[in-house]
Amino acid sequence: MGSALGAVGTRTILDPQCGTTVIQCVTPATVIGGTDNLTVDLSKFGCTNIHGILGFVENTTGEVVVQEQPTTSVSSSTLTITVGGSGTKRRTYIIFAY
């Protein structure tokens, strides 16, 4: 998956019992909260929409992780994530897609 921010790593876990694909997106440490957006092509994971998303930010690189929610929208199987918070930090998003 790519974005204006460069490569964004993903990992998927399929939970066949609830029909949900869990997608993990980890951004580079150069992402700016409240400014940057990234996109996820859900169709690459066999999905068209999301149930929800959890966002986390590393306040101290690799050490302190706290919850930070983004704003999202889905159009034509493309999820747009608007990064929440502030500051230039690495973010991790757990996406529950279907």
**Per-residue pLDDT tens for 3-30?**
444 455 666 666 667 778 888 888 888 9
Tens-digit pLDDT profile for residues 59-82 = 877 777 899 999 999 999 999 999
Q: In what order do the strands lie in the sheet with 71-75?
A: 37-41, 78-82, 71-75
pLDDT at 49: 95
Mean pLDDT of 31-37: 93
User: pTM of whole model > 0.85?
Assistant: no
Q: What residues contact 53, with CB distance under 8 A and at least 6 apart? A: 69, 70, 72, 81, 93, 94, 95, 96
pLDDT at 14: 65
Whether residue 96 contacts residue 42, with contact meaning beta carbons closer than 8 Å, is answered with no
Alpha carbons 46 and 84: distance in angstroms, whole number: 27
pLDDT at 1: 44
pLDDT at 33 over 70: yes
